[in-house]
Amino acid sequence: MNAASRHVRSLWSATPVHDDALGTIRRLTADELPLLERLSIKRLLLAPGRIREPHWHANANELGYVLAGSVLITIVDNADAISTVGVTAGQMFHINSGALHAIENVGDGEAELIIVFSHERPQDFSLHAAFGAMSNAVLGNTYDLASDAFAHLTRDTTSPYLVQRTGPAVVPDGADRADPHRFDIEAQSPPVDFAYGQARVSRTQFWPALRNLSMYSLRIADDGMREPHWHPDTAELGYVHRGHARMSILDPDGSVDTYLLQPGDVYFIPRAYPHQIEALGEDIHFLVFFDQPTPGDVGYRLAASAFAPGVLAATFGVEAADLPTFPKVVEDPLIVKRRNPVDAA
């Protein structure tokens, strides 16, 4: 079903950018999922002692979530600002476009990260390539050294992506202190909290460092459902971490795309397209990314509350007496209880 959907691709089965004993990088950009705009996604697996080499993105901010393991992120930002930040499972990090950074696995097991970018085709520069672009004399002048000091370095303008550390990890004191690049989303008391679902959120009111990205850590029990809704001014890019679900999306041409989701799948919803999410027989956990720092939505529940019965009756072509008894609400619940069986596929 998903292979035929223009909204969905599997990140787990995407062609790897890098895949060897050091780790694996798989990504979905607009080249693999043409519907993407202002968002793309990457899955990074790092073996112990391995490093995503120092690099930066020329056209995109970066927002990451650590699913497993412990990483150390070193960041060189504007105005001579250097940060070294430890990030563990359930925590997030944010990197500004153009900021040099490296991701190092400092744990004993494999690290797994889901990383989203604020561009459908992010552009990278590596420190390796940046050195390869300059002559030995230029580098010598830069560091006040003789040019032959650089003669033994491997020099070209390609990127190895992943490299191996020699010796033990050096984790500086203070790497676990509060830092604007890190956000402990799973330690948050969820702003949306029901017995049948919760949403923890990283957005600017809780994490001021965010500029044009945000994320919801969305958990829905089998007896809950993400109500039908749309986002007026933000696109949505979701990653299925756990569970199986079904989604339906209404496209502007009137077609309805309904598809099944499983772990590793990625879906994309353009701005203002109505959609919903329902769990299928088990609890689900989605990482839901947005291309705005403070996403908003309009839900069906509030929409029905906004109009007089005569307007709704005319809209649906029935008498007012035949309308359902819509509950009156002043805000959308985001997650609702599923009181009816899941529809047949």
Rounded Cα distance between 77 and 209, Å, is 13
29 and 126: one domain? yes
pLDDT at 342: 87
Share of the chain above pLDDT 90, in %: 95
192-213: per-residue pLDDT in tens?
999 999 999 999 999 999 999 9
Query: In the predicted model, is pLDDT for residue 2 greater than 80?
Result: no
Instruction: Report the distance separating Cα 109 and Cα 50, nearest Å.
Output: 11
| Domain C-terminal end among 149, 183, 217 | 183
Looking at the structure of the chain, the number of domains it has is 2
Q: What is the pLDDT of residue 343?
A: 84
Q: Provide the CATH number for the domain around residue 192.
A: 2.60.120.10
Does residue 332 lie within any of the structural domains? yes
- Answer for the pair 278, 343: CB distance below 8 angstroms, yes or no: no
> Do 177 and 275 have their domain in common?
no
In this model, does residue 123 exceed pLDDT 80?
A: yes
What pTM was computed for the model?
0.96
> Could you tell me the pLDDT band of residue 345, with boundaries at 50, 70 and 90?
low
- Out of 162, 183, 204, pick the residue that ends a domain: 183
pLDDT band at 238 (very low <50, low <70, confident <90, very high): very high
Residues forming a β-bridge with 336: 225
Structure tokens at 203: 């957005």
Residue written as token pair 């993400």 = 226
The predicted model gives 111-140 an average pLDDT of 97
Q: Are 26 and 42 in contact (CB under 8 A)?
A: yes
Same domain, 200 and 332: yes
Calpha distance 284→185 (Å, rounded): 17
**215 lies in the same domain as 299:** yes
Mean pLDDT for the stretch of residues 60-73 = 98
**Confidence band of 1 (pLDDT split at 50, 70, 90):** very low
Domain that includes residue 118, residue range: 2-183
pLDDT tens digits for range 283-336: 999 999 999 999 999 999 999 999 999 999 999 999 999 999 999 999 999 999
Q: Name the CA dihedral angle for 215, 221, 33, 295, rounded to a multiple of 10 degrees.
A: -30
